[in-house]
Amino acid sequence: MKDTPTVLVVDDNSTDALLIARAFSESLSCTLSAVTSSIEALKYLQHENPYSDPLDYPTPDLVTLDSKMPQSGKWDVLLWIRQQPELKTLPVVILCGSADPTDEKLALDLGANAYHLKPQDFDEFLSVIDRIAQRWLKQ
C-alpha cells in the first residue's frame, strides 16, 4: 500500500503543470507526476515506456486534466480513462482556462468528477487545489 497519494497532472503548458504541482505540494504530502501531452498521459496510465516502472510511476489516485491538449481530441484522455475497467472510478478533475458552460457540462457528462477554472492568483489557486485534495484524496 502506498504511503502517500499519487497525482498525475496532465497539462500541455509546463508552467501551469509546475504551478499545479507546487500547489499540491503545499496542500498535502503526495507523489506528483506531470506530463505535457495526451500521448504521454496514456503511456503513463498504461505503464508503457518510459513509464513502465510502477514504483517510479504508480497508478495515480487522482488525475488533473487540462481540457485542451494538443495531438488529441478535446476529451480523449477522459474518455479513455472512463473506458478502462481498472481506472473507471479514478477521480479526474478538469483544471482549465475555459469558462464556457458547455465545456463544463460536457466534461461532467463524459465522466469528469469536477471542473475548475485555473485561477490567476496563486493564493486562489492554492485554495482550489486544497479543495480538490480534500475532496478527492484520502489521507
> Before 50, cis peptide (omega within 30)?
yes
Check whether 14 has a pLDDT greater than 80. Answer: yes
Question: For 65-70, what is the mean pLDDT?
Answer: 81
- The whole-chain average pLDDT of the chain stands at 89
The pLDDT of residue 1:
46
117 near 67, Cβ under 8 Å? Answer: no
Q: Which of 73, 43, 42, 65 is nearest to 111 (CA)?
A: 65
The pLDDT of residue 99:
84
What CATH number matches the domain at 6-136, 3.40.50.2300, 1.10.287.110, 3.30.470.20, 3.40.140.10? 3.40.50.2300
The torsion defined by the Cα of 102, 110, 127 and 129, in degrees rounded to 10, comes to -140
CA–CA gap between residue 38 and residue 90 (Å, rounded)? 17
Check whether 139 has a pLDDT greater than 60. Answer: no
Question: What are the tens digits of pLDDT across the range 26-54?
Answer: 878 888 999 999 999 999 999 999 999 99
Sketch the domain layout of the chain as residue ranges: 6-136
